[in-house]
Amino acid sequence: MNRETNTVELKAPEQPSSKLHLPTLLKSDYETDTEVSYTVVADEGQTSFREGPLTETYGYNGSYLGPVLQVRRGQQVHINLQNKLEEETTFHWHGLKIPSDVDGGPHHAIEAEGSAEVDFTVDQEAATLWFHSHAHQKSAEQVYNGLSGLIFVEDEHSDSLDLPKEYGVNDFPLILQERFFDEDNQFNYDTVYNFDGTTGDTPLVNGTIRPYIEVGQEWVRLRVVNGSNARNYQLRLSDESFFYQIATDGGFLETPVERKEFLLSPGERAEIVVDMSKYKVGEEVSLVDISTTEILALQITGDKSGSLKPLPEKLNDLPPVEADSLPDRQIEMSGMGHMVTLNGRKFDLERIDFTVEQDKKEVWDIAVPNTSMMMGDMPHPFHVHGVQFRILSRNGSPPEAYESGWKDTILVPPGEAIKIEIEFSQPGIFMMHCHILEHEDNGMMGQILVE
């Protein structure tokens, strides 16, 4: 698929490798079987990414990025939000099926030094989700500076699956990003800003440059999140081994899908499991971007005797998709630079773009017109708030097994016709937008009223 948004090549950083930073599992303020409460604080900080001066950054409960919020299906979640920044921000829960008044979109600004509380019930299956700033016309800069974190949803079904789940041992989240560092080690967003998505030349995983992890000779699960403002990552193992994809954005696939490489556009997630038992202790294999830039080194250190257990054959029961007998709606993302639009219009906080019925399936045709180079054709990752959808077809063909699960973000290449089946279970006003965050800030976004 098309990767032409990535104008800046990644380069392998010239510095020694360091152990991958593991986001902390956020300690709850209180927790029972049915309830959990967290405090999430957005603040400024200084982060040591590499030798030399510290970098001025933003973070949640820390100087850069954020912790993992663990929630369970059925649980009532209470989150105390604090904004210690000198500007307004929002806390958006990307992928959670929750009512729009707690979704943290651009309507929910919390002023500098302000705070707010949100309450919702988790009503969806186990998945790796994330959260980030969605401040009006400031999302791209605030996310670039560090405002993103993770949400792990677990449920009885995921408890019962025999998959790697020892955090930091055989289960690792990987937030992929890249940044430019200036001579003083600063991000300096204004100077590297790009209308079509600010990128960088230095890959970071969880904020670590040249990261490695130590693993045993066992299945290792990687929960990969594309947390970049604009870059598409196309990932494979350095020795071109196969691995299995087990989950998409919103939950497990039906069965593990054997893959050799996978593409993630901004906002998308994929979980993969890698068989490390075929390597010897002392060996190393890397996850690389297709440009062969190393993203993460896996060093085999622990000896695990005995043979590897097979993966579960069945991971999930996905409801069948209904195909074509449903109301149809067209969504078109077009333009580049300042000229980006969604269905021919720029975002307006005061305008509802269309209304859909709650608990009613619809088919959406999503497209990026193939016009001329003058108009600018580029792939756009399309994301919808408050919902998980399914892909019905790409150019008339059913989706590949690896994208037949729950999705909330999908890369739409120019000229390709994509149909999705979508059903909102929550009422309110939800955003749909390009997840190239600069496009979103520049107006490639619309609002859906669900009632």
- Token pair 């677990």 is at which residue? 154
Of 232, 243, 237, 239, nearest to 287 (Cα)? 237
Choose the one of ligand C2O, Cu ion, none that binds residue 380, judging by a C-beta under 5 to 8 angstroms depending on kind.
Cu ion
> What's the burial of 205, exposed, middle or buried (CB within 10 Å: 0-12/13-18/19+)?
buried
Exactly one of 179, 231, 269, 380 binds Cu ion (CB under 5 A); that residue is 380
Least gap, CB of 440 to Cu ion (angstroms): 8
Binding-site residue total for ligand C2O (CB under 6 A)? 10
- Token pair 């890698």 is at which residue? 274
Exactly one of 94, 210, 236, 394 binds Cu ion (CB under 5 A); that residue is 94
Closer by beta carbon to Cu ion, 256 or else 428: 428
Binding mask 263-292 for ligand C2O (x = CB under 6 A): ----x-------------------------
Q: Is 176 in the site for ligand C2O (CB under 6 A)?
A: no
- Sequence length of the chain is 451
Longest dimension (CA), the chain: 62
Tell me if residue 413 falls in helix, strand or coil.
coil
Under 8 Å between Cβ of 315 and 246: yes
Residue partners of 111: CB distance under 8 A and separation at least 6: 83, 88
Q: Is 231 in the site for ligand C2O (CB under 6 A)?
A: no
Tell me if residue 337 falls in helix, strand or coil.
helix
Q: Residue 434 and residue 334: Cα distance in Å, rounded?
A: 10
Exactly one of 152, 420, 439, 445 binds Cu ion (CB under 5 A); that residue is 439
Structure tokens at 72: 């369970």
Strands (E), 48-101: 55-60, 68-72, 76-83, 92-94
Of 290, 386, 419, nearest to 98 (Cα)? 386
Choose the one of Cu ion, ligand C2O, none that binds residue 203, judging by a C-beta under 5 to 8 angstroms depending on kind.
none
Under 8 Å between Cβ of 82 and 29: no
Binding mask 28-67 for Cu ion (x = CB under 5 A): ----------------------------------------
Q: Is 434 in the site for Cu ion (CB under 5 A)?
A: yes
Exactly one of 436, 437, 448, 450 binds Cu ion (CB under 5 A); that residue is 436
Exactly one of 383, 394, 407, 419 binds ligand C2O (CB under 6 A); that residue is 383
Exactly one of 6, 36, 88, 92 binds ligand C2O (CB under 6 A); that residue is 92
- Contact residues toward ligand C2O (CB under 6 A) are 92, 94, 132, 134, 267, 383, 385, 431, 433, 435
- Contact residues toward Cu ion (CB under 5 A) are 94, 380, 385, 434, 436, 439
